[in-house]
Amino acid sequence: MSTVLSGIQPSGLLHLGNYFGAIRQHIALQDEPGEHFYFIADYHSLTTLRHADKMRELVRETAITYLACGLDPEKAVLWRQSDVPEVTEIAWLLATVTGMGLLERAHSFKDKLAHHIKPTVGLFTYPILMAADILAYDANVVPVGKDQVQHVEMAQDMAGYFNNTYGDVFVRPEIRLEQTLHMQKVPGLDGQKMSKSYGNDIWMFESGKKLKKLCSQIVTDSRPPEEPKDPSELFVFDLLALFLDVEELAEWKAKVTAGGPLGPGYGHLKMRLKDAMEEYFASAREQREYFLAHPQVVDEILEVGAVKARQRARQVRDRALHACGLR
Ligand code: ADP
Ligand code: TRP
């Protein structure tokens, strides 16, 4: 049986990159046979977010986003990482068999250093906690975007180190790469990868004037509407492709390619994006309002999820402790 597991950090409002690169796939998988585990990686977020009220707000917002987008607690377990402290115990066990060299090779750590984020020990050992997240539940399928592949490979390595030392304790997790996105990454307002840390992101539930303003900030050039253009050079089409059906997308591309008196200006493309995005998330936005107005429903889902998740993690933790002679 497959046990599917993934996590997402509550370190900011979730943007289009997070939705199309991770959340959408997580939720779609709940309809496949097997068990489904999704958690809010609040321990991980402590490596960058150090404000208690903000943390509480974002954990709730992240849970609500998953529920609003269709996560069904009957099909998938949803919980807060920190409600399962067994994960940190397993992280310690893994740390004792993991060489420094493995962690030193982590791209994400090197990237954070390059962005001048203070390198705490927590940031350095982030992949160990992530491996524990996966191994604690005997997960064998881990759906992630490309940027997280190396971390899951490290979890495979750590499971191997532990099992070679103490016998078969941890299940080897396999990567399920997000493939529904027909582009490498969702671009942000400036055309680079959309990321909250680059300040180029669009919150998935943004709407109205604020969304209009953001869309108008999408970087384009100063060529006039009449000038024929190659749509593949305009990243605004990558954003439009997320929302428009193929026929409409093709029509816009044809008009831009032809140029002339009917050539659409960049403003037209941006406003079409705004409307399409608002429409796409309309029902999720409504659901979000419902969960915002019923915080006890959200609390209960997270509590029930934590009980289920913890039951599993306890068994795995006990197995691991026994294997290394601590029980
Ligand atoms: P951020 O870069 O904004 O901090 P995270 O690193 O927390 O985002 O990403 C959480 C998940 O969302 C990851 O699994 C990642 O694959 C996905 N993701 C983030 N940004 C993008 C993007 N621009 N395009 C596609 N997927 C993305
Ligand atoms: N590191 C992941 C991210 O930033 C979040 C995460 C934490 C995760 N633990 C995990 C993802 C375990 C998959 C499995 O997106």
Using an 8 Å Cβ cutoff, are 109 and 103 in contact? yes
* Ligand 2 contact via 133 beta carbon (within 6 Å): yes
Concerning whether 54 is annotated as a catalytic residue, the answer is no
Residue 210: active-site member: no
pLDDT value at residue 197 = 83
Q: Is 193 a catalytic residue?
A: yes
Length of the chain measured in residues = 327
Core vs surface per residue 5-29: b (16+ CB within 10 A) or e: bbbbbbbbbbbbbbbbbbbbbbbeb
Domains defined along the chain, listed by start? 3-185+294-323 (3.40.50.620), 208-280 (1.10.240.10)
Pocket test for ligand 1, best of 13, 65, 130, 147 (most atoms within 8 A of CB): 147
Options 110, 112, 146, 212, the catalytic residue: 112
Q: What is the pTM of this model?
A: 0.96
**Alpha carbon distances (Å) from 87 to 81, 83, 134, 154, 166:** 8, 9, 9, 16, 19
Query: Could you count the other beta carbons within 10 Å of the beta carbon of residue 280?
Result: 16
| 144 Cβ below 6 A of ligand 2 | yes
Distance CA 283, CA 204 (A): 12
**Whose CA is closest to 134, among 316, 323, 326?**
316
Distance between CA atoms of residues 304 and 78, nearest Å: 8
Q: Is the CB of 130 under 6 A from ligand 2?
A: yes
C-beta 134 within 6 A of ligand 2: yes
Place of tokens 């954990």: 59
Return the pLDDT at 180: 77
All residues at 6 or more sequence positions from 160 whose CB lies less than 8 Å from its CB, including other chains: 172
Rounded to the nearest angstrom, the distance between the alpha carbon of 147 and the centre of ligand 2 is 10
7: CA distance to ligand 2 center in Å?
Answer: 5
Q: What is the pLDDT of residue 21?
A: 92
pLDDT in tens, the chain (327 residues): 899 999 999 989 999 999 999 999 999 999 999 999 999 999 999 998 999 999 999 999 999 999 999 999 999 999 999 999 999 999 999 999 999 999 999 998 898 888 887 789 999 999 999 999 999 999 999 999 888 999 999 999 999 999 999 999 999 999 999 887 878 899 999 999 999 988 999 999 999 999 999 999 999 999 999 999 999 999 999 999 999 999 999 999 999 999 988 889 999 999 999 999 999 999 999 999 999 999 999 999 999 999 999 999 999 999 999 999 999
Residue identified by tokens 């068999």 is 97
